[in-house]
Amino acid sequence: MDIILKNVKKKDFPVFQSLAKSLGFEIVEDNEKPYNPEFVKEIIDAEKSIEEGKGIKIKVEDLWK
């Protein structure tokens, strides 16, 4: 059986580690991020530029012209 703990605070993690070790469980840390950090930065930068009024508005009917 697998148990997955999500959003565990760093200060609480040692408690889980010691409990698991005392019970003989195996701990597997999976810190893989689902998105490329460069891609996330591009999205955040784009949202900031839109908030600053640097975006361009295009009518929906003009998208395919």
pLDDT at 7: 85
Instruction: Flag whether 2 is in a domain.
Output: no
Q: Into how many domains does the chain fold?
A: 1
Predicted local confidence at residue 43, as pLDDT: 94
Given this model, what pLDDT does residue 39 score? 93
Residues 36 and 49: their CA atoms lie apart, in Å, by 20
Judged by phi (left if over 0) then psi (alpha if -120 to 50, else beta), residue 53 lies in left
Q: Which residues of the chain have pLDDT under 50?
A: none
Residue 50 lies in a domain: yes
Report yes or no on 22 lying in a domain.
yes
**Structural domain boundaries, residue 27:** 13-62
Q: Is residue 38 part of a domain?
A: yes
Residue 34 per-residue DSSP state: S
Please indicate, yes or no, if residue 24 is contained in any of the structural domains: yes
What is the reported pTM?
A: 0.40
Residue 37 inside a domain? The answer is yes
Q: What is the pLDDT of residue 49?
A: 92
What pLDDT, in 10s, does the model give residues 36-46?
A: 889 999 999 99
43 domain residue, yes or no: yes
Is 49 part of any domain?
yes
